[in-house]
Amino acid sequence: ATQRTLSIIKPDAVAKNVIGEIYTRFEKAGLQVIASKMVHLSKEQAEGFYAEHSERGFFGELVGFMTSGPVMIQALEGEEAIAKNRDLMGATNPKEAAAGTIRADFATSIDANAVHGSDAPAAAEREIAYFFGENEICPRG
C-alpha cells in the first residue's frame, strides 16, 4: 500500500553536504519528497520529537546532537514507504549497517547516524504532523 514516512537528514549529513545524494537514493527507490524544510531545531522541538526516548540514557546526547546544526526534514510517499526508507537507511548503529545503505556510507556513530526514519505507521503520522501542516504537504498522486 502507499504510505508516508517522516525522514530527517541529521546535522552530520547536512554538514557533509550530502543532502542531494540522500534525496537521490529516495527518488531512485521510488519515494517522492512531498514536503521538506530545513530547520535548526530548538531543544524544545528536539525533546518533543523524541519524547518516546526521554527516559533513555542517551536522551541528552540525542537532543544535544540533533540541535547541533541544521537538519533537513522531509515527508516521503510511496509503496511501503516506511520499510523502504528503513531499508535505504540501514541499521541504527552504522557499524551494523549493511553495505550500500545510507548509514554505512555516510554515518559515523550511533548518534551521528545521518538519518532518521519513522518506524511504524502511527509514528509516521505523528512525526509528519509534528513538522508539517496539511498545507505544506504536496502529494502528486
Residue number with CB closer to ligand CMP (58 or 130): 58
CB of 133 to ligand CMP, least distance (A): 22
What is d(CA 66, CA 69) in angstroms, rounded to the nearest whole number?
7
Please, which of residues 71-130 interact with ligand CMP by CB under 6 A?
A: 92, 110-111, 113, 116
CB of 26 to ligand CMP, least distance (A): 16
Question: Which cell numbers in the block locate residue 59?
Answer: 536522551
CB of 132 to ligand CMP, least distance (A): 18
HEC string of 47-91 equals HHHCHHHCCCCCHHHHHHHHCCCCEEEEEEEEECHHHHHHHHHCC
Please state the φ and ψ torsions of residue 19, each to the nearest 5 degrees. -55, -50
Angle at the Cα of 131 (from 1 to 140), degrees rounded to 5?
40
Residue number with CB closer to ligand CMP (55 or 134): 55
Residue number with CB closer to ligand CMP (48 or 139): 48
58 binds ligand CMP (CB under 6 A): yes
What does the binding site for ligand CMP look like in residue numbers (CB under 6 A)? 53, 58, 62, 92, 110-111, 113, 116
